[in-house]
Every structure is written in C-alpha cells, then in structure tokens.
C-alpha cells in the first residue's frame, strides 16, 4: 500500500507538473484498432456480438498487463514494479485533465465557447446542459471516471485494475468504440458493475467533506443503492446547493444581498467552482485514508 500511495502521488504530480507529457502518454488508439479488428473477424451470432463479447476485447490486453505486473513485482526489491505502477496509473488517469476542463468553462469568453468547453464533461452524443445542477453532476461523473474509479481499482488490483477500468470505460465511449448493439449493452452493464462500489465510496466521502444531511437524504431515495443509480449525482447536487446557501446566508448577515453574496464568495458559475472544490476534498480524503493505513501498519 505504501508503494501504491507513492505511485498515486507520482501520477498526480506528472499530470499537474508535466501536462503535455501526460497528454502524450494517455493514448489508446491501439485499443480502438483492436476493437475494429474484432468487429471484422467475428460474424453475426458469434460470441463477440453478444453481451459477453466485451470479455474478448479485454482478455488479451489484461492478460498481458497481469503477466507484466507479476514479472516486475520482485526485481530490484520492487523498484521496477513501482515504476510500472506509476507509468500505468499515469497512463490510465484522466485521460483529460478535469481541472483544466472546468477552468475552461469558467474562463470562457462567451456562451458559445462556454458550451463547447462544457461538452468535454459529457459523453459523446449526450446533450450538454448548462444549468448549475447539471454541471455539478457532470463534474462528479467526470471525477468518478477520470480519478476515483481508476484509483479504486488500482488500489485493489494494482496496474491490472487501473487498466481494467480504463479499457472498460473506453469500450462504452462512442468516440472510441463502435461496438455491435449487444456487445455495447454488455459493456455498459460491466462498466456499471465496476463503478458501483466507487460511486458509493465517493458518496460516503462526500457526506464527510460536504453537507452530511443532504447526502444521507439522497441515499434514502428509493433505488439509491441500485446498480444504475445516479445517487452520486443527486448527492452532489444537494450538497453543493446546501454549501452555497450556507455561505450566502453567512455573508447576508453582513448586509449583502444574496446575489452580491454569491459574487463575493464564488464569482461566476458558483455551482461549478464548489463542485470542483468538493471533488478535490474527496480526493485528498482518500489519499489521507491511504496514508493512515500505511502509518498504522494495517496494510503492507
């Protein structure tokens, strides 16, 4: 776990201190070519064109990753394995920088540029919504897919887990994959399985760093624990709304109007700024928890 924490911090540093290097590293064109090759090889009625076809797409690259992970775990007292951990995690993180995408929305000079920037937070083909609550949900969905899910599966299974999640997410990305209908349906179901525990843990962390009552309220909604639930998005909306209301109420006591209070505290697009701040707080909380496990000696 100590090595995993070092790898996470190093991958984060690479993304922020060398963004061009990170962007150049995070290329998955080979996976798109692999999916196209499978499409060309298997006819209608084959296993590839069924709901479990995604397993064929993942099996070969993940087998190679697993063998490499085992082979590099021991040499030089694990140092080679640590370098592998850093490289694979930095590769699977993102692939776009969430901070830069959110900043591009806030700093956009006009409504058209703002909508174009916001489109980077939505999956390809999904309509872009510019209202505050929708942007909050988009930030947290992006944080889940770019940060937390990769981190969770990396901590659980090492580089194999990080690559497992990233390739599974790419398989449902219409910009990367053009899968047969049944294969795409199976890929979406598989991705939902991978994301479910992560969404619950992020929601729990949101309750700790945000508004506890609003998050618990979202968890109590019917079907909140279902596989395809949007509990994280609902909890994020409620938490951001409560946080802004509390900040505005504090400033209003000094005589400021609500509109002026929002401008004083958050500037433009307050929901977006607060959502990004909450996402960072959750990430710091996760890293602190990992560090405490290492210090306490509960895990190796």
Question: Whole-angstrom Cα distance, residue 38 to residue 40?
Answer: 5
Tokens for 252? 């209003």
Task: Give the pLDDT band (50/70/90) at residue 300.
Answer: very low
pLDDT for 176 equals 65
> Average pLDDT, stretch 192-216?
89
C-alpha distances out from residue 171 to 41, 54, 60, 150, Å: 17, 8, 14, 15
Is residue 139 a contact partner of residue 98, using CB atoms and an 8 Å limit? yes
pLDDT over 90 (residue 83): no
C-alpha distances out from residue 242 to 215, 234, 279, 300, Å: 10, 12, 16, 39
Is residue 50 a contact partner of residue 182, using CB atoms and an 8 Å limit? yes
Closest-CA residue to 207 (of 142, 137, 145, 285): 285
Q: Is the peptide bond before 205 cis (omega within 30 degrees of 0)?
A: no
pLDDT for 261 equals 46
Task: Give the pLDDT band (50/70/90) at residue 131.
Answer: confident
Closest-CA residue to 85 (of 153, 147, 159): 159
Which residues does 167 contact at the CB level (< 8 Å), separation at least 6?
A: 28, 31, 57, 58, 61, 62
pLDDT for 299 equals 46
Three-state DSSP string of 118-164: HHHHCCCCCCCCCCHHHHHHHHHHHHHHHHHHHHHHHHHHCHHHHHH
pLDDT for 71 equals 85
pLDDT over 90 (residue 160): yes
Which residues does 253 contact at the CB level (< 8 Å), separation at least 6?
A: none
> Average pLDDT, stretch 71-83?
74
* pTM summary value: 0.88
pLDDT for 196 equals 93
Total number of domains constituting the chain: 1
Instruction: Indicate the average pLDDT of the chain.
Output: 83
Q: Which domain holds residue 225?
A: 2-296
């Amino acid at each position: 776990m100590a090595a995993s924490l070092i790898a996470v911090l190093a991958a984060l540093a690479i993304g922020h201190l060398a963004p061009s290097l990170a962007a150049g590293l995070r290329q998955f064109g080979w996976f798109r070519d692999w999916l196209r090759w499978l499409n060309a090889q298997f006819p209608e009625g084959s296993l590839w064109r069924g709901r479990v076809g995604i397993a064929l797409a993942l099996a070969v690259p993940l087998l190679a990753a697993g063998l490499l992970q085992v082979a590099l775990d021991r040499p030089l007292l694990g140092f080679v394995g640590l370098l592998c951990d850093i490289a694979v995690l930095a590769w699977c993180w993102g692939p776009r920088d969430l901070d830069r995408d959110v900043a591009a929305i806030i700093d956009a000079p006009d409504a058209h540029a703002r909508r174009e920037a916001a489109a980077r937070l939505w999956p390809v083909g999904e309509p872009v919504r510019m209202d505050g609550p929708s942007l909050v949900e988009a930030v947290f969905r992006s944080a889940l897919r770019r940060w937390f899910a990769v981190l969770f599966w990396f901590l659980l299974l090492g580089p194999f887990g990080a690559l497992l999640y990233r390739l599974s997410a790419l398989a449902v990305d219409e910009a990367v994959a053009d899968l047969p209908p049944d294969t795409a349906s199976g890929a979406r179901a598989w991705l939902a399985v991978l994301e479910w525990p992560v969404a619950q843990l992020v929601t729990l962390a949101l309750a700790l760093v945000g508004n506890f009552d609003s998050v618990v309220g979202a968890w109590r909604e019917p079907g909140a624990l279902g596989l395809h639930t949007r509990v994280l998005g609902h909890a994020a909306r409620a938490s951001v709304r409560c946080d802004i209301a509390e900040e505005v109420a504090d400033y209003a006591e000094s005589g400021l109007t609500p509109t002026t209070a929002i401008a004083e505290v958050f500037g433009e697009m307050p929901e977006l700024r607060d959502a990004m701040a909450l996402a960072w707080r959750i990430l710091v909380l996760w890293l602190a928890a990992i560090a405490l496990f290492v210090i306490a000696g509960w895990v190796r």
